[in-house]
Amino acid sequence: MLIDTYGRVATDLRVSLTDRCNLRCTYCMPEEGLQWLAKPDLLTDDEIVRLIDIAVRMLGIEEVRFTGGEPLLRPGLVGIVERVAALAPRPQMSLTTNGIGLKRTATALKAAGLDRVNVSLDTLRPEVFKALTRRDRHKDVIEGLEAAHAAGLTPVKINTVLMPSLNEDEAPDLLSWAMERGYELRFIEQMPLDAQHGWKREGMVTAGDILASLRTRFDLTPEDADARGSAPAERWLVNGGPHRVGVIASVTRPFCAACDRTRLTADGQIRTCLFATEETDLRAALRNGAPDEEIARIWKLAMWGKKAGAGLDDPSFVQPDRPMSAIGG
């Protein structure tokens, strides 16, 4: 079991498969990209599967989310999913993606055992998409969403970040569009995880702003608090249901007290929080021949030291030196 000193138990593992991405979202990385990890520094497919096996067999992990960077850029992704699906106990598996490669991979991922996907889409306007991501790939994302839905990777969830003066007016249109297609929309407050450290709390589009915008067109009823559990998104029934909309307010309404996550970076480091500035190295233990029991012990020790919260409201908060693309969202 992965338990910390505050009694929280981690059952959800986020696995970053690569730090690379084929978009250049303004809230994540600079236009020229980043200095990517060298291939020898990345975990191999076998190492990833072994660590996930240890997590589900010895540490109580029940859910695995594959992230990036952009996980569809990982050549061995389908094989990794297939091997994890064969583990006992079998964890639930999902994927967070920008959607660009889903049209060609959705069917294979479903056949391999993937349960569902989260797709990032911040706008319905191609010109705004190009401004936000610095790439003209809006059509590819839309087609990727359609392919995921058709393949049965459901519920298909859409993650949206609203930015001032770019797409902050689109919340009602995005919700209407998502409901028409059977997608579940979740808005995410912009977080201080950009490589260029340009994030500023003042002026950001908050959960309160998002809900106020949605209520200009929809009636929102809060979902029962018990239904949320440890999920990061607060959810509302839209016009009485059955459709729902979620808001992940990591900055203004932190949910650290219910956190059940542990994170594995693409180069084999354990992070106890998305905003952590410390990491614990599992790759070295793997490559030095440590047995599963020793790796599990190191992982448990790392989780035991997890802090009470992210500390975003603390004036002394220091932004992590790794961008979101390197540690998985």
Question: What CA–CA distance (Å, rounded) separates 210 from 170?
Answer: 10
In sequence order, the β-bridge partners of residue 187 are 160, 247
Residues 6+ apart with CB under 8 A from 83: 45, 49
Which residues fall in the annotated binding site for GTP? 14, 65, 96, 157, 261-263
Token representation of residue 152 = 């049965």
Give Cα separations from 210 to 58, 168, 183, 203, 280 (angstroms): 41, 8, 18, 13, 36
Token representation of residue 297 = 């012990």
End-to-end alpha-carbon separation of the chain, Å?
A: 23
Quote the radius of gyration of the chain (alpha carbons, Å): 19
Which residues fall in the annotated binding site? 14, 21, 25, 27-28, 65, 69, 96, 120, 157, 191, 256, 259, 261-263, 273
Token representation of residue 313 = 């409201």
Structural contact between residues 200 and 229, judged by C-beta atoms closer than 8 angstroms: no
In the chain, beta strands by DSSP E: 2-3, 9-10, 12-16, 63-67, 92-97, 116-120, 157-160, 184-188, 220-222, 234-238, 244-248, 261-264, 269-271, 280-281
**Helical axes 171-181 vs 207-214, angle rounded to 10°:** 70
User: What is the SS3 assignment for 187?
Assistant: strand
| Type of residue at 133 | T
Structural contact between residues 45 and 105, judged by C-beta atoms closer than 8 angstroms: no
Exposed/middle/buried for residue 202 (C-beta within 10 Å: 0-12, 13-18, 19+): exposed
Which residues fall in the annotated binding site for S-adenosyl-L-methionine? 27, 69, 120, 191
Which residues fall in the annotated binding site for [4Fe-4S] cluster? 21, 25, 28, 256, 259, 273
Which sign does the torsion angle of CA 197, 201, 203, 208 carry? positive
